[in-house]
Amino acid sequence: MHELSIAMSIVDLVEEEMAVRGVEVEAVHVKVGLLSGVVKDALLTSYEMACMQTPLEGSRLVIEEVPILVDCPNCKVRRPVLSMQWFCCSECGTPTAEVVEGKELIVTALELRQ
Amino acid sequence: MNTEPRLVEVRKNVLKQNDVIARALRDQFRDAGVFVASLVSSPGSGKTALLERTLTLLRPHYRVAALVGDLATENDAARLSRSLAPVKQITTGTLCHLEAAMVQSALGEWDVNHLDFLFVENVGNLVCPSSYDLGENLRLVLLSVTEGEDKPLKYPTIFNSADVAIITKMDLAKAVEFDLDAALHNIQAVRPGMQVFQVSAKTGDGMTGYLGFLRSRQANARAAAIQSAIQSLR
Protein backbone atom coordinates (compact mmCIF):
# COMPACT_ATOMS: atom_id res chain seq x y z
CA MET A 1 0.00 0.00 0.00
CA HIS A 2 2.32 2.72 -1.26
CA GLU A 3 -0.54 4.62 -2.91
CA LEU A 4 -0.61 7.08 -0.01
CA SER A 5 3.04 8.02 -0.71
CA ILE A 6 2.15 8.37 -4.39
CA ALA A 7 -0.91 10.49 -3.58
CA MET A 8 1.19 12.75 -1.36
CA SER A 9 3.69 13.16 -4.20
CA ILE A 10 0.82 14.19 -6.48
CA VAL A 11 -0.41 16.76 -3.94
CA ASP A 12 3.13 18.17 -3.51
CA LEU A 13 3.62 18.41 -7.25
CA VAL A 14 0.25 20.10 -7.84
CA GLU A 15 0.71 22.53 -4.95
CA GLU A 16 4.02 23.55 -6.54
CA GLU A 17 2.28 24.12 -9.89
CA MET A 18 -0.48 26.13 -8.17
CA ALA A 19 2.10 28.39 -6.54
CA VAL A 20 4.04 28.89 -9.77
CA ARG A 21 0.96 29.57 -11.89
CA GLY A 22 -1.04 31.36 -9.21
CA VAL A 23 -4.14 29.25 -9.79
CA GLU A 24 -6.61 27.16 -7.83
CA VAL A 25 -7.25 23.60 -8.89
CA GLU A 26 -10.54 21.75 -9.02
CA ALA A 27 -9.35 18.47 -10.52
CA VAL A 28 -6.06 16.73 -11.24
CA HIS A 29 -5.72 14.49 -14.27
CA VAL A 30 -3.22 11.64 -14.07
CA LYS A 31 -2.16 8.79 -16.32
CA VAL A 32 -1.53 5.52 -14.50
CA GLY A 33 0.07 2.69 -16.46
CA LEU A 34 -1.11 -0.82 -15.67
CA LEU A 35 2.55 -1.66 -15.02
CA SER A 36 3.18 1.32 -12.75
CA GLY A 37 2.47 -0.74 -9.66
CA VAL A 38 -0.34 1.59 -8.60
CA VAL A 39 -3.91 0.47 -7.98
CA LYS A 40 -6.59 2.91 -9.16
CA ASP A 41 -9.06 2.50 -6.28
CA ALA A 42 -6.35 2.66 -3.63
CA LEU A 43 -4.97 5.80 -5.23
CA LEU A 44 -8.40 7.49 -5.27
CA THR A 45 -8.91 6.82 -1.56
CA SER A 46 -5.36 7.86 -0.73
CA TYR A 47 -5.71 11.05 -2.74
CA GLU A 48 -8.68 12.15 -0.68
CA MET A 49 -6.64 11.61 2.49
CA ALA A 50 -3.54 13.30 1.10
CA CYS A 51 -5.56 16.39 0.18
CA MET A 52 -6.88 16.94 3.70
CA GLN A 53 -5.88 20.31 5.13
CA THR A 54 -4.20 21.36 1.90
CA PRO A 55 -5.42 23.81 -0.75
CA LEU A 56 -6.44 20.72 -2.74
CA GLU A 57 -9.00 19.56 -0.20
CA GLY A 58 -12.20 18.68 -2.03
CA SER A 59 -10.50 18.43 -5.43
CA ARG A 60 -11.04 15.44 -7.72
CA LEU A 61 -8.50 13.01 -9.09
CA VAL A 62 -9.25 11.88 -12.63
CA ILE A 63 -7.36 8.70 -13.48
CA GLU A 64 -6.77 7.52 -17.01
CA GLU A 65 -5.44 3.97 -17.02
CA VAL A 66 -2.85 3.26 -19.70
CA PRO A 67 -2.80 -0.26 -21.16
CA ILE A 68 0.47 -2.11 -21.64
CA LEU A 69 1.85 -1.79 -25.16
CA VAL A 70 4.85 -3.62 -26.55
CA ASP A 71 6.93 -3.34 -29.70
CA CYS A 72 6.19 -6.61 -31.42
CA PRO A 73 9.41 -7.87 -33.05
CA ASN A 74 7.34 -9.91 -35.51
CA CYS A 75 4.58 -7.48 -36.57
CA LYS A 76 7.05 -4.56 -36.27
CA VAL A 77 4.34 -2.40 -34.75
CA ARG A 78 3.13 -1.35 -31.34
CA ARG A 79 0.57 -3.77 -29.93
CA PRO A 80 -1.20 -4.39 -26.62
CA VAL A 81 0.08 -7.38 -24.63
CA LEU A 82 -2.18 -10.38 -24.40
CA SER A 83 -2.36 -10.01 -20.59
CA MET A 84 -0.30 -9.10 -17.55
CA GLN A 85 0.32 -12.83 -17.17
CA TRP A 86 1.30 -13.35 -20.76
CA PHE A 87 3.67 -10.83 -22.23
CA CYS A 88 3.24 -11.47 -25.90
CA CYS A 89 1.80 -9.66 -28.88
CA SER A 90 -2.00 -9.85 -28.75
CA GLU A 91 -2.10 -10.34 -32.52
CA CYS A 92 0.59 -12.87 -33.38
CA GLY A 93 1.54 -14.25 -29.95
CA THR A 94 5.26 -13.49 -30.19
CA PRO A 95 6.68 -13.15 -26.64
CA THR A 96 8.32 -9.81 -25.98
CA ALA A 97 9.40 -7.72 -23.00
CA GLU A 98 9.85 -4.50 -25.00
CA VAL A 99 7.34 -2.44 -23.05
CA VAL A 100 6.78 0.97 -24.66
CA GLU A 101 3.72 2.11 -22.72
CA GLY A 102 2.10 1.12 -19.45
CA LYS A 103 4.67 2.22 -16.86
CA GLU A 104 3.52 5.84 -16.75
CA LEU A 105 2.71 7.64 -13.54
CA ILE A 106 2.26 11.24 -14.62
CA VAL A 107 0.17 14.29 -13.87
CA THR A 108 -1.10 15.33 -17.29
CA ALA A 109 -3.41 18.29 -16.66
CA LEU A 110 -5.06 20.50 -14.08
CA GLU A 111 -8.65 21.68 -14.14
CA LEU A 112 -8.71 25.20 -12.82
CA ARG A 113 -11.24 26.71 -10.49
CA GLN A 114 -12.74 29.71 -12.29
CA MET B 1 -12.66 38.42 -16.26
CA ASN B 2 -10.49 35.32 -16.08
CA THR B 3 -9.32 34.39 -19.54
CA GLU B 4 -7.18 31.42 -18.48
CA PRO B 5 -8.18 28.08 -19.99
CA ARG B 6 -10.07 25.79 -17.68
CA LEU B 7 -7.71 22.91 -18.36
CA VAL B 8 -3.94 23.38 -18.32
CA GLU B 9 -1.53 20.75 -19.51
CA VAL B 10 1.20 19.78 -17.06
CA ARG B 11 2.89 16.44 -17.90
CA LYS B 12 5.01 15.91 -14.80
CA ASN B 13 6.23 12.59 -13.50
CA VAL B 14 4.61 11.95 -10.11
CA LEU B 15 7.78 10.37 -8.77
CA LYS B 16 10.06 12.99 -10.29
CA GLN B 17 11.61 13.74 -6.90
CA ASN B 18 12.56 10.09 -6.49
CA ASP B 19 13.69 9.84 -10.11
CA VAL B 20 15.95 12.90 -9.81
CA ILE B 21 17.71 11.42 -6.78
CA ALA B 22 17.88 7.96 -8.41
CA ARG B 23 19.50 9.50 -11.48
CA ALA B 24 22.03 11.37 -9.34
CA LEU B 25 22.84 8.14 -7.51
CA ARG B 26 23.23 6.23 -10.77
CA ASP B 27 25.64 8.88 -12.08
CA GLN B 28 27.58 8.79 -8.81
CA PHE B 29 27.78 4.97 -8.92
CA ARG B 30 28.85 4.99 -12.57
CA ASP B 31 31.62 7.53 -11.97
CA ALA B 32 32.83 5.52 -8.98
CA GLY B 33 32.78 2.28 -10.98
CA VAL B 34 30.76 0.55 -8.27
CA PHE B 35 28.22 -2.02 -9.34
CA VAL B 36 24.92 -1.73 -7.49
CA ALA B 37 22.42 -4.56 -7.26
CA SER B 38 19.13 -4.44 -5.37
CA LEU B 39 17.14 -7.40 -4.11
CA VAL B 40 13.35 -7.55 -3.98
CA SER B 41 11.09 -10.40 -2.90
CA SER B 42 8.28 -11.26 -0.52
CA PRO B 43 9.23 -11.49 3.17
CA GLY B 44 10.97 -14.73 4.04
CA SER B 45 12.10 -15.79 0.59
CA GLY B 46 15.76 -15.65 1.52
CA LYS B 47 17.08 -12.22 0.54
CA THR B 48 19.22 -11.90 3.65
CA ALA B 49 20.54 -15.48 3.46
CA LEU B 50 21.49 -15.03 -0.20
CA LEU B 51 23.06 -11.67 0.52
CA GLU B 52 25.07 -12.98 3.48
CA ARG B 53 26.45 -15.78 1.33
CA THR B 54 27.11 -13.37 -1.55
CA LEU B 55 29.00 -10.91 0.66
CA THR B 56 31.01 -13.71 2.30
CA LEU B 57 32.07 -15.19 -1.04
CA LEU B 58 32.84 -11.87 -2.75
CA ARG B 59 34.59 -10.13 0.16
CA PRO B 60 38.00 -11.84 -0.17
CA HIS B 61 38.25 -10.59 -3.76
CA TYR B 62 36.21 -7.39 -3.88
CA ARG B 63 35.33 -4.37 -1.76
CA VAL B 64 31.69 -5.04 -0.94
CA ALA B 65 29.06 -3.33 1.20
CA ALA B 66 25.33 -3.59 1.79
CA LEU B 67 22.32 -1.52 2.80
CA VAL B 68 19.38 -3.43 4.16
CA GLY B 69 15.83 -2.16 4.51
CA ASP B 70 13.23 -3.32 7.01
CA LEU B 71 10.27 -1.79 8.77
CA ALA B 72 11.91 -2.38 12.14
CA THR B 73 14.87 -4.03 13.98
CA GLU B 74 18.55 -4.14 13.15
CA ASN B 75 18.44 -7.95 12.94
CA ASP B 76 19.31 -8.23 9.27
CA ALA B 77 22.25 -5.83 9.52
CA ALA B 78 23.57 -7.89 12.44
CA ARG B 79 23.21 -11.08 10.38
CA LEU B 80 24.91 -9.58 7.34
CA SER B 81 27.74 -8.18 9.47
CA ARG B 82 28.88 -11.77 10.00
CA SER B 83 30.21 -11.57 6.45
CA LEU B 84 32.61 -8.88 7.80
CA ALA B 85 31.48 -6.52 5.05
CA PRO B 86 30.32 -3.00 6.01
CA VAL B 87 26.55 -3.08 6.44
CA LYS B 88 23.98 -0.44 7.31
CA GLN B 89 20.36 -0.95 8.28
CA ILE B 90 17.66 1.33 6.92
CA THR B 91 14.58 1.17 9.12
CA THR B 92 11.57 2.53 7.29
CA GLY B 93 9.12 2.64 10.19
CA THR B 94 5.83 1.84 8.50
CA LEU B 95 6.92 2.49 4.95
CA CYS B 96 6.58 -0.59 2.74
CA HIS B 97 9.42 0.12 0.33
CA LEU B 98 12.78 1.89 -0.04
CA GLU B 99 13.04 5.20 -1.88
CA ALA B 100 16.09 6.70 -3.55
CA ALA B 101 16.43 9.37 -0.85
CA MET B 102 16.76 6.67 1.84
CA VAL B 103 19.58 5.02 -0.09
CA GLN B 104 21.26 8.39 -0.51
CA SER B 105 21.05 9.28 3.16
CA ALA B 106 22.04 5.78 4.32
CA LEU B 107 25.20 5.96 2.22
CA GLY B 108 26.17 8.89 4.46
CA GLU B 109 29.90 9.13 4.83
CA TRP B 110 30.60 5.95 2.88
CA ASP B 111 32.85 6.68 -0.07
CA VAL B 112 31.47 4.65 -2.97
CA ASN B 113 34.74 5.23 -4.82
CA HIS B 114 36.20 2.65 -2.48
CA LEU B 115 33.65 -0.02 -3.38
CA ASP B 116 33.34 -2.61 -6.13
CA PHE B 117 29.90 -3.88 -5.19
CA LEU B 118 27.04 -2.30 -3.28
CA PHE B 119 23.97 -4.39 -2.51
CA VAL B 120 20.64 -2.90 -1.48
CA GLU B 121 18.15 -5.25 0.12
CA ASN B 122 14.65 -3.82 -0.20
CA VAL B 123 11.85 -4.27 2.32
CA GLY B 124 10.17 -7.67 1.88
CA ASN B 125 7.29 -6.75 -0.43
CA LEU B 126 6.38 -7.84 -3.95
CA VAL B 127 4.15 -4.87 -4.72
CA CYS B 128 5.35 -1.44 -3.65
CA PRO B 129 9.10 -1.50 -4.46
CA SER B 130 8.30 -1.88 -8.17
CA SER B 131 7.46 1.83 -8.53
CA TYR B 132 10.71 3.20 -7.08
CA ASP B 133 13.99 3.50 -8.92
CA LEU B 134 16.88 3.31 -6.43
CA GLY B 135 19.63 4.13 -8.92
CA GLU B 136 20.72 0.51 -9.02
CA ASN B 137 22.35 -1.13 -12.06
CA LEU B 138 20.58 -4.41 -11.59
CA ARG B 139 17.40 -5.45 -9.82
CA LEU B 140 17.16 -9.05 -8.69
CA VAL B 141 13.77 -10.52 -7.88
CA LEU B 142 13.82 -13.59 -5.65
CA LEU B 143 11.32 -16.41 -5.64
CA SER B 144 11.76 -19.22 -3.13
CA VAL B 145 10.66 -22.76 -3.86
CA THR B 146 8.38 -22.70 -0.80
CA GLU B 147 6.27 -19.87 -2.24
CA GLY B 148 4.69 -21.66 -5.15
CA GLU B 149 5.39 -21.66 -8.84
CA ASP B 150 2.69 -19.12 -9.72
CA LYS B 151 4.23 -16.16 -7.86
CA PRO B 152 5.30 -14.49 -11.14
CA LEU B 153 1.72 -14.67 -12.45
CA LYS B 154 0.35 -13.17 -9.24
CA TYR B 155 2.92 -10.34 -9.11
CA PRO B 156 3.80 -9.62 -12.75
CA THR B 157 4.63 -5.96 -12.10
CA ILE B 158 7.59 -6.62 -9.83
CA PHE B 159 8.93 -9.30 -12.20
CA ASN B 160 8.65 -6.74 -14.96
CA SER B 161 10.54 -4.09 -13.01
CA ALA B 162 13.39 -6.54 -12.30
CA ASP B 163 16.26 -7.59 -14.57
CA VAL B 164 17.07 -11.05 -13.28
CA ALA B 165 15.14 -13.68 -11.32
CA ILE B 166 16.69 -15.95 -8.70
CA ILE B 167 14.96 -19.06 -7.48
CA THR B 168 16.13 -19.57 -3.89
CA LYS B 169 16.10 -22.41 -1.36
CA MET B 170 16.67 -24.97 -4.12
CA ASP B 171 17.81 -27.43 -1.44
CA LEU B 172 14.14 -27.62 -0.35
CA ALA B 173 12.76 -28.07 -3.88
CA LYS B 174 12.25 -31.81 -3.60
CA ALA B 175 10.72 -31.69 -0.12
CA VAL B 176 8.08 -29.16 -1.19
CA GLU B 177 7.58 -30.81 -4.60
CA PHE B 178 8.56 -27.63 -6.39
CA ASP B 179 7.71 -27.73 -10.10
CA LEU B 180 10.76 -26.04 -11.62
CA ASP B 181 9.48 -26.19 -15.20
CA ALA B 182 6.23 -24.48 -14.23
CA ALA B 183 8.12 -21.76 -12.34
CA LEU B 184 10.47 -21.12 -15.27
CA HIS B 185 7.53 -21.09 -17.66
CA ASN B 186 5.67 -18.55 -15.51
CA ILE B 187 8.71 -16.28 -15.26
CA GLN B 188 9.11 -16.32 -19.04
CA ALA B 189 5.36 -15.66 -19.48
CA VAL B 190 5.48 -12.39 -17.53
CA ARG B 191 8.98 -11.37 -18.62
CA PRO B 192 10.10 -13.05 -21.84
CA GLY B 193 13.86 -13.57 -22.03
CA MET B 194 14.48 -12.98 -18.31
CA GLN B 195 17.67 -14.58 -17.04
CA VAL B 196 17.07 -16.97 -14.14
CA PHE B 197 19.48 -18.45 -11.60
CA GLN B 198 18.68 -21.32 -9.26
CA VAL B 199 20.56 -21.23 -5.99
CA SER B 200 20.74 -22.56 -2.49
CA ALA B 201 22.43 -20.09 -0.16
CA LYS B 202 22.51 -22.87 2.42
CA THR B 203 24.41 -25.53 0.46
CA GLY B 204 26.08 -23.12 -1.97
CA ASP B 205 24.63 -24.90 -5.00
CA GLY B 206 24.26 -22.59 -7.99
CA MET B 207 26.23 -19.78 -6.31
CA THR B 208 29.16 -20.06 -8.75
CA GLY B 209 27.06 -19.28 -11.82
CA TYR B 210 25.22 -16.44 -10.13
CA LEU B 211 28.42 -14.90 -8.72
CA GLY B 212 30.13 -15.27 -12.10
CA PHE B 213 27.31 -13.27 -13.62
CA LEU B 214 27.64 -10.53 -10.97
CA ARG B 215 31.43 -10.43 -11.45
CA SER B 216 31.15 -9.98 -15.20
CA ARG B 217 28.54 -7.24 -14.77
CA GLN B 218 30.81 -5.52 -12.24
CA ALA B 219 33.76 -5.74 -14.65
CA ASN B 220 31.62 -4.06 -17.32
CA ALA B 221 30.65 -1.27 -14.90
CA ARG B 222 34.29 -0.75 -13.97
CA ALA B 223 35.36 -0.66 -17.64
CA ALA B 224 32.62 1.91 -18.38
CA ALA B 225 33.81 4.08 -15.47
CA ILE B 226 37.40 4.01 -16.73
CA GLN B 227 36.21 4.79 -20.25
CA SER B 228 34.22 7.80 -19.10
CA ALA B 229 37.13 9.01 -16.92
CA ILE B 230 39.49 8.84 -19.92
CA GLN B 231 36.98 10.66 -22.09
CA SER B 232 36.56 13.45 -19.55
CA LEU B 233 40.37 13.93 -19.52
CA ARG B 234 40.53 14.42 -23.27
B195 pLDDT more than 90:
yes
Of B4, B15, B97, the CB nearest to A9: B15
Domain interval for residue A88: 3-112
Write down the domain spans for chain B.
16-203
Share of chain B above pLDDT 90, in %: 77
Residues of chain A falling short of pLDDT 50: none
What was the pLDDT predicted at B94? Answer: 80
What was the pLDDT predicted at B74? Answer: 85
Phi-psi domain of A109 (left: phi exceeds 0; alpha: psi -120 through 50; beta: other): beta
B3 pLDDT more than 80:
no
What was the pLDDT predicted at B203? Answer: 97
d(CA B55, CA B79): 11
Q: What pTM value is reported for the model?
A: 0.91
Tell me whether A18 touches chain B (CB under 8 Å): no
Is the domain covering B16-203 a CATH 3.30.43.10 domain? Answer: no
Find the CATH number of the domain harbouring A49. 3.30.2320.80
The top-scoring range by mean pLDDT among B41-50, B65-74, B76-85, B92-101 is B41-50
Identify all chain B residues contacting A2, using CB atoms and an 8 Å cutoff: 95-97, 127-128, 131
What was the pLDDT predicted at B175? Answer: 97
ipTM: 0.86
Position B5 confidence tier, pLDDT thresholds 50, 70, 90: low
Tell me whether A113 touches chain B (CB under 8 Å): no
What was the pLDDT predicted at A31? Answer: 97
What was the pLDDT predicted at B2? Answer: 54
B96 pLDDT more than 90:
no
Identify all chain A residues contacting B127, using CB atoms and an 8 Å cutoff: 2, 37
What was the pLDDT predicted at A15? Answer: 96
Give the number of C-alpha atoms closer than 13 A to the C-alpha of residue B18, restricted to the C-beta side. 23
The pLDDT tens digits of the residues spanning B116-170 come to 999 999 999 998 899 999 999 999 999 999 998 999 999 999 999 999 999 999 9
DSSP of chain B: ---S-SEEEEEEETTHHHHHHHHHHHHHHHHHT-EEEEEE-STTSSHHHHHHHHHHHHTTTS-EEEEEEESS-SHHHHHHHTTTS-EEEEE-TT-SS--HHHHHHHHTT--GGG-SEEEEEPPS-SSGGGG---S-SEEEEEEEGGG-TTHHHH-HHHHHH-SEEEEE-GGGTTTTT--HHHHHHHHHHHSTT-EEEE--TTT-TTHHHHHHHHHHHHHHHHHHHHHHHHHHH-
Which residues fall within 8 angstroms of residue A55, CB to CB, at 6 or more apart?
Answer: A15, A18, A24, A25
β-pairing, A99-101 with A69-71?
antiparallel
CA distance A56 to chain B (A): 16
The pLDDT tens digits of the residues spanning B45-66 come to 999 999 999 999 999 999 999 9
Min mean pLDDT across B92-96, B138-142, B180-184 is at: B92-96
What was the pLDDT predicted at B231? Answer: 87
Tell me whether A95 touches chain B (CB under 8 Å): yes
Q: Which of A107, A111, A113, A114 to mutate to test the interface with B (most CBs of B within 10 A)?
A: A107
B1 pLDDT more than 60:
no
Mean pLDDT throughout B90-101? 89
